[in-house]
Structure 1
Amino acid sequence: MTITAAADGSALGNPGPAGWAWYVDEDRWHAGGWPHGTNNQGELMAVLDLFRSTAHVPDEPLHILCDSQYVINCVTKWLPNWKRRGWKKADGKPVLNADLLRQIDDELVGRTYTFEWVKGHAGHSLNEAADARARACATAFQAGAAPVEGPGFGGALSTPMPLSAGRTSPVPIQGDLFGEAAGEVAVEAPPAPSQTDLDVDAVVELEQELLDPEVRSDFGQLAYLLHPDYREVGQSGRLWDRDETVEALGEEAQRHEAFELLEASRLAPDLIQVLYRTESRNGSALRSSLWQRTEGRWRLRFHQGTPEA
């Protein structure tokens, strides 16, 4: 029987006192936290602890409800490429939260799982229950009190490892982006990807990073990813330059958009086009991006978005 659970994280100040929780029902849930952490660390820890707490029933598929596209992307899309690069992002920078991601990677081996994105704070009963427990743990650490941890799964509580304790696993995990994304353990090593495949994967990963609210709110990272001569034709038909785009993205940093890749291809040795669809509460749009390799790294040179009818 499939185990359906919501996983969520909370941080007061982000970073600040942090909590995490997963919730199946009133008899099966677990929560915890740290005196200092980020919301994303809480989200990842909730998923990690859910896998560990159900390790004694490995044949039961997990269906995980998350309101964090960052977590879903990490586990189902970005993780294999990060491992292949030695836990480095496409731009060469270290992967954030690699310690937790390595531990999640270990726990995925032999498990069947799916992820589903749910909108946070929208009345979803399981998500609300997990959010309330994660927030309660963060509040407890803020007050210097012991958090309420819950009963665990079937009376079993896992023992969370410190954030600095990372482990590695050589088994690559593959999955889809959102919704019905099933994890599959690769029994045999796949053929070595071509340089074109690596470059295209890297650019698609960078494109998705630009949809991450944390990246959108980081002016330095936006300036790093956008080419100095960046131009964008917005959905209204307006032409934007890089400075205007960085400011606008910062103002809408909390907007969540689901990503559906349509096509990604190399147009020239140092030019890759990504065609994709986004969906948000404002509707869906078709988007086209041109990424140019400049001074050894990929930067977004041009983008256009068109609303779908």
Structure 2
Amino acid sequence: MTENKNLDKSYKPPRNTSLPKVKAVRRRQTNNAAEISAAALAARKASENGISHLRINTDSKFLIDSYNKWIPHWEANGWKTTNGKPVVYRTEFEELRKALEGLDVTWNHVSGHQGIEGNEMTDYLAQMGINRSNVA
């Protein structure tokens, strides 16, 4: 995690969430699975709080490209890649699609580990989740 001296780690905005990795990523404990699960969680929290327009900032081009470009093709192809292999994160993407239903979503790519406060806080919360999992 990049250390940002301007980031007050004691401050936790009320809608930010840090979950143990076991709860956050039930199937695969990979960066991609965590990114997909985090976006789905953000969408569910937005819906629970009556938010209908959501901007998702992520440093994952994989997530953005998957949602905007590849998922429609995978679905049309029976959730197979162009090589005929099953889509690895199909279940996670299906959960994301369900969570985003009814929301107007804008995807925004941000550079990772560049001192962007929200991205740094996300990394910090992810680290907290990992640490909580390792203690339990």
Give the TM-score of the pair, scaled to structure 2.
Answer: 0.81
* Structure 1 vs Structure 2 CA RMSD: 1.9
Corresponding residue SS for 1:30? coil
CA distance in 1, matches of 2:104, 2:82: 28
Note if 1:144 corresponds to 2:101.
no
Equivalent AA in structure 2 for residue 70 of structure 1: F
In the TM superposition, 1:59-208 aligns within 5 A as: 60-141=52-133, 143-145=134-136
Could you report, residue by residue, the CA deviation over 1:182-202 in whole angstroms, capped at 9, with x for unpaired residues? Answer: xxxxxxxxxxxxxxxxxxxxx
Q: Is the Cα contact below 8 Å between 1:58 and 1:110 reproduced in 2?
A: no
Q: Is the Cα contact below 8 Å between 2:52 and 2:102 reproduced in 1?
A: no
Note if 1:30 corresponds to 2:22.
no
Please list every run of at least 4 consecutive aligned residues from structure 1 whose deviation after the TM superposition is greater than 6 angstroms. Answer: none
Equivalent in the alignment of 1:229: none
Unmatched 5+ stretches in structure 2: 2-11
Equivalent in the alignment of 1:241: none
Kindly tell me the number of residue pairs found equivalent between the two proteins. 121
Seen in structure 2, the aligned counterparts of structure 1 residues 96 and 86 have a Cα distance that, compared at 3 Å, is same
Equivalent in the alignment of 2:42: 50
Unmatched 5+ stretches in structure 1: 1-9, 11-24, 146-309
Could you report, residue by residue, the CA deviation over 1:130-167 in whole angstroms, capped at 9, with x for unpaired residues? Answer: 111012211222x233xxxxxxxxxxxxxxxxxxxxxx
Q: Is the Cα contact below 8 Å between 1:58 and 1:111 reproduced in 2?
A: no
CA distance in 1, matches of 2:18, 2:69: 26
Could you report, residue by residue, the CA deviation over 1:179-228 in whole angstroms, capped at 9, with x for unpaired residues? Answer: xxxxxxxxxxxxxxxxxxxxxxxxxxxxxxxxxxxxxxxxxxxxxxxxxx
CA distance in 1, matches of 2:57, 2:117: 11
Corresponding residue SS for 1:34? helix
Q: Is the Cα contact below 8 Å between 2:18 and 2:125 reproduced in 1?
A: yes
Which of the two has higher C-alpha Rg? 1
Q: Is the Cα contact below 8 Å between 2:55 and 2:108 reproduced in 1?
A: yes
Structure showing the higher strand proportion among its residues: 1
Identity %: 29
Equivalent in the alignment of 1:207: none
CA distance in 1, matches of 2:123, 2:35: 10
CA shift for structure 1 position 95: 0.5
Structure showing the higher helix proportion among its residues: 2
Equivalent in the alignment of 1:41: 33
